[in-house]
Structure 1
Amino acid sequence: MKYRIIPVTPFQQNCSLIWCEESGAAAVVDPGGDLDRIRAAIDEEGVKVEKILLTHAHIDHAGGTAELARALDLPIEGPHREDDFWIQGLPMQAQMFGFPAPEIFTPDRWLEDGDQVTVGNQTLDVLHCPGHTPGHVVFYHRESKLALVGDVLFQGSIGRTDFPKGDYNTLVRSIREKLFPLGDDIAFVPGHGPMSTFGHEKASNPFVSDHRG
């Protein structure tokens, strides 16, 4: 599976274009905005987008979802149903952070822990990783040793837990019990900032490392 990271929105959110090399089928993960930038990347890679995947429903990750789904006639998969209140609150989030007013949408498929999503001939596992939001999911492609983790984990940090229904202990548990067991060599695309590996974060991240006090 191939991927391309496309920073979007004033928050420089890492939207990802992922695709199956065999079939050329692709998915857009977390289209938070700047759809012209996302569509330019799709054209440059010459892939055929077949769906939108969402890790969670904060505005910088989900703000452009309804518009892109309508423009390209795409189904929306994810996040977990627990994030529906965030989807319903997208207009309020936009007002709060100065984003363009987005449309509310209903995903074609809510995702649960243990589900799988497909992109062409590729299959990604779905892990429900609450804490940053209650319905946050992570997409893991076993063959590529790649995870798309949204705002669960960052290089040297973790997601905020001061939003409604966020919980610090739940987030740390999601990282240590769901993500780290996948393996130290798993690379991950975070919702913001540079990529890292679970092994690096396990060794050095002050919030979740083996050496934290």
Structure 2
Amino acid sequence: MFVRSIVADAFATNCYVIAPAEGEECLIVDPGIGVEDRVQDVLAEHRLRPAAVLLTHGHLDHVYAVTPVCQGTTAVSPYIHADDRYRLTDPLATMSPELVAALEQQFGRRATWTEPERIVEFGAAGEDHTTLELAGLRIEVAHAPGHTEGSVLFTAHDVPDGIPSDDLDRTVLSGDVLFAGSIGRTDLPGGDAAAMRRSLRDVVLPLADSSLVLPGHGPATTMARERGTNPYLTSL
């Protein structure tokens, strides 16, 4: 499986481009602040055609470039859990004025937002698990609230090219639910510490040790490593 990561200009958010192989359709996951030109460079270099944008949740640092990316070379739609759909109306509205001002000072321009034209929701009516068939990939989706109401994990049953597959046989895009050695915070609007504990217990801990974990921030890890060393998991 082809995988490339792009680190956003703010908050060090990881954006991923994944595809069955070069020259195929692809998925773009969590296009954050300032990634759109680099996404287009990856698409051009590897002859990839975007089929959809997947969003692990609706925080600004994971969705800021979603509209320009969706309106790029080929018009595509973003996919987001129904419980976080409201955030795409205006993710700036959920941020403190101080944080918005800090971003504007960093980039020297006013932060703006345009809602994507067509948004695809999944997970409506309390559906905790679903499957998406996109770009020749079968993506399993698990609802894991806590960081936000609609946070999810995306799992593909393959590993990136160049990763030894003896011990790893799937890739989990964990957003801000699980990081290497840590988890996402729960003190932001829509966060819920009790829901996060349930998600860690019921969604994250059952993941196979053979899972490569690509988080929303920071380095890649494995489920085997996190099960044995992540204090938020070992304490459950």
TM superposition score normalised by structure 2: 0.82
Equivalent residue number for residue 90 of structure 2: 89
| C-alpha contact 1:90 1:103 (8 A) present in aligned 2 | no
1:73 to 60, 72, 75: 75
1:110 to 103, 121, 124: 121
| C-alpha contact 2:90 2:113 (8 A) present in aligned 1 | no
The runs of 4+ residues in structure 1 deviating greater than 6 Å are none
98-107 vs 35-44, greater mean Cα deviation: 98-107
Equivalent residue number for residue 164 of structure 1: 189
| C-alpha contact 1:9 1:60 (8 A) present in aligned 2 | no
User: What letter corresponds to residue 9 of structure 1 in structure 2?
Assistant: D
Separation (CA, whole Å) in 1 of partners of 2:130 and 2:219: 27
152-161 vs 20-29, greater mean Cα deviation: 20-29
Deviation, 1:104, is 2.3
Deviation, 1:61, is 0.3
Equivalent residue number for residue 179 of structure 1: 204
2:31 maps to 1:31: yes
Name structure 2 gaps, 5 residues minimum: 105-110, 160-169
User: What letter corresponds to residue 140 of structure 1 in structure 2?
Assistant: T
Map residues 45-84 of structure 1 onto 2, 5 A cutoff: 45-71=46-72, 72-78=74-80, 80-84=81-85
Please list the CA deviations of residues 150-185 of structure 1 after superposition, one character each: whole Å capped at 9, or x if unmatched.
000100110010011211121122122112212112
| C-alpha contact 2:177 2:183 (8 A) present in aligned 1 | yes
127-136 vs 109-118, greater mean Cα deviation: 109-118
Percent identity for Structure 1 against Structure 2? 31
The count of corresponding residues between Structure 1 and Structure 2 is: 210
Separation (CA, whole Å) in 2 of partners of 1:23 and 1:153: 31
Equivalent residue number for residue 155 of structure 1: 180
Deviation, 1:22, is 8.0
* Structure 2 counterpart SS, 1:110: strand
Separation (CA, whole Å) in 2 of partners of 1:53 and 1:29: 5
Name structure 1 gaps, 5 residues minimum: none
Distance 1:68-1:57 versus aligned 2 partners, 3 A rule: same
Question: In angstroms, what is the RMSD of aligned CA positions?
Answer: 2.0
Map residues 181-196 of structure 1 onto 2, 5 A cutoff: 181-196=206-221
Separation (CA, whole Å) in 1 of partners of 2:188 and 2:20: 35
* Structure 1 counterpart SS, 2:203: helix
Separation (CA, whole Å) in 2 of partners of 1:137 and 1:49: 21
Map residues 124-139 of structure 1 onto 2, 5 A cutoff: 124-139=139-154
Deviation, 1:58, is 0.5
| C-alpha contact 1:180 1:199 (8 A) present in aligned 2 | no
TM superposition score normalised by structure 1: 0.90
Map residues 200-211 of structure 1 onto 2, 5 A cutoff: 200-209=225-234
